[in-house]
Homo-oligomer: A and B are copies of this chain.
């Protein structure tokens, strides 16, 4: 029994070590460099060892993408809460931007285009849906008092719109394309706040 427990622990350690190593490879050399063979090489274990825990390179990638979604959702949930639905949603927007700017690798894993096929990795999909559901819930709170018959559809479009603004602004913010425009520094510094203000006006118009 004791030997088996020890072996379980070692096995769990190897799984976790593989995940950490995979994240390190992706962070340093890009997603295209990730392979189970490279994970094994860096850990100094046999080529076959990671296969005890991951059926393929995509399965370990799905695990690190899943974890990014979980950490992202936790960051959104940790925002300062407000009883006012507008204020709360703005806080969620700021938390989104903060996560994107401080965790560029995780952000790229979630929203870049090197994710493994979602249909093959239900846990990853579940975590992605959970993160989006937080945004949907924040927006449905806004619409709660609305008498419009199409409030549900409007709120889902609002969620995609808010996501678009945040995703686009975070992408532009750090792009060479923005740099190449040579815009005034104070304009660029205030672009996120200005964008959130405009989002708020757009959402308000959906309620009137």
Contacts and interface: CB of A to CB of B under 8 A. Distances in A.
A147 interface: no
A49 interface: no
B164 A195 contact: yes
A201 B195 contact: no
Given A110-B177, A132-B181, A177-B111, A164 B165 contact: yes
A118 interface: yes
A102 interface: no
B182 A160 contact: no
Copies in the complex: 2
Interface string A179-194: 1111100011011001
Interface of A: 110-111, 113, 115, 117-118, 124-125, 128-129, 132, 153, 156-158, 160-161, 163-169, 171-172, 174-177, 179-183, 187-188, 190-191, 194-195, 198-199, 201-206
15 contacts: A111-B172, A115-B176, A118-B176, A153-B187, A156-B183, A160-B169, A160-B187, A160-B191, A160-B195, A161-B165, A161-B191, A164-B168, A164-B169, A168-B169, A198-B202
